[in-house]
Structure 1
Amino acid sequence: MPVMHFLIRWPDGVEANCYSPSTVVSEFFAAGQRYAVDDFVARSREALHIGSERVREKYGFACSAALDQLARIEDDARRFHDAHEAQVTVLALD
């Protein structure tokens, strides 16, 4: 399966290189776009679950790396729970 990474910048300026087991993430994000933190998490959740299911269909098991990545995104997003205007920037998709 084609792996895809997406580089993001959290509202506090911290950058993270995120992993997806599938190119499906490109259907949810665009480089240069900003997303409200809650929207970013919801999009990540859907994209990474789809990617994990694609791995399951092909190999017979879910992609634990995608689920680990989602857990990191959800954990990092908690820092901005009270920052309602905070946005995540998608810097690159590759």
Structure 2
Amino acid sequence: MKLCRWVIGVAWVLYLVALALLLIGTFGFFGQERDPLAGVFLVPLGMPWVLWTDIFPEALLPWMGALSPLLNIVILTLLCRFFQTGRTDNN
């Protein structure tokens, strides 16, 4: 399904851009000032899983926040594969 591939592609692009902004803002790459809110764009992409990251130790919180959008991308991919297997035509 072309729509599924398109949605997954957009999700990947948004995730990679948000991750790049996190790295640029956190480490001050390209002469950018360090910003404590650099990862704010990862929060909506990782909902609702990012709300459950408080069960992890303090040292893992940044990693879990940065990786939580991947869970949504995996779920989208699995849903697309599930619904694609039931189709007889290959559009």
TM-score by length of 2: 0.41
Select the structure of larger CA radius of gyration. 2
As a proportion of its length, which structure holds more strand? 1
As a proportion of its length, which structure holds more helix? 2
TM-score by length of 1: 0.40
